[in-house]
Amino acid sequence: MADLEGNLAAKKYSPQTPLATFSHAVRGASNLDWGMQHRLSRIVNPETGRTVMLAFDHGYFQGPTRGLERIDLNIAPLEAHADALMCTRGALRTSIPPATQSGLVLRASGGPSILKDLSDEHTAMAMDDAVRIGADAVAVQVFIGGEHESRSVKNLTTLVDAGYDAGIPVLGVTAVGKELTRDARYLGLATRIIAELGAQLVKTYYCDEGFEDVVAGCPVPVIMAGGKKLPELDALTMASRAVRAGAAGVDMGRNIFQSSQPTAMLTAVRAVVHDDADPADAYEIFREAEGASS
């Protein structure tokens, strides 16, 4: 208990100064509760308004994936270089150090494997467990145009409702089936639906034509998904085009952990995303690190 002896009377009220208001960099988040805004700021860097997320949740539907055979050995050393980690609770609990300071985005939908129709998902994690773990967001796949479109939308809205109870944001991921085109019209449709139904973040693929319209039409941050492994310069160029078109960063998996130098690639991606580095200059960062290790 504080010593009450000699207690000085409070007097610095600065009555002429209005209470501070805080501007923040997360699109569409102004009216959210403090806890939700706080968690979003652990994912999206408040200084740049952008994020570099490391996705390694692939095992939830495709089992062992090249580069993810041993998450404890291959991914855990990368965690400090990412703003946020996107993974399953199983990978997190078994293979990532609890002392990590990165934001945590936990996969909360699942069901079918690559042997089945991927749109046949359910929610796959209770919000209570996200709270228990200390998640900063949960992620759910939304299959607009897919066989089980409505159920995936229900998965999203169920998690959004539970997320408001817990103060945990939801990242809605546009899932593109083989039969759906990754063009601006489709991606604009899917991202807008996901945001309107309450997701505080949306992840979607890049498209060469009209990506700026996709971003402009979505009232919450759009984070670019990485996709299949590309040559490093191509992946950096895609990331650069996405953020210059207004994306709030990237969530990349295979283009990081399947690179010959994952740490160098993460560093190069950070330069593109947070420093607006030219892709060619960022590629030099990658090449230097690659040369140093050979």
Active site residues: 203
**Helix crossing, 232-244 with 279-293: angle to 10°?**
150
Among 163, 226, 262, 279, binds ligand R5P (CB under 6 A): 226
Nearer of residues 45 and 141 to ligand R5P, judged by Cβ: 141
Q: Could you give the angle at the alpha carbon of 180 between the alpha carbons of 137 and 176, nearest 5°?
A: 20
From candidates 46, 49, 167, 227, binder to ligand R5P by CB under 6 A: 227
DSSP helix/strand/coil, 105: strand
Enter the tokens of residue 65.
């994936």
**DSSP H helices in 65-148:** 71-74, 89-95, 127-133
**42 vs 254 by CB, closer to ligand R5P:** 254
Positive or negative torsion for Cα 289, 96, 100, 54: positive
Q: Which of 51, 73, 101, 55 is nearest to 256 (CA)?
A: 55
Residue span 238-267 as binding mask against ligand R5P, x where in contact by CB under 6 A, dash where not = -------------xxxxx------------
Closest contact distance (angstroms) between CB of 23 and ligand R5P is 30
d(CA 142, CA 175): 6
Interface with ligand R5P includes 232 (CB under 6 A)? no
Binding ligand R5P (rule: CB under 6 A), the pick from 45, 51, 54, 57 is 57
The window from 9-17, 19-27, 53-61, 191-199 that contacts ligand R5P (CB under 6 A) reads 53-61
Judged by CB under 6 A, the residue of 58, 81, 89, 148 near ligand R5P is: 58
Does 173 interact with ligand R5P (rule: CB under 6 A)? yes
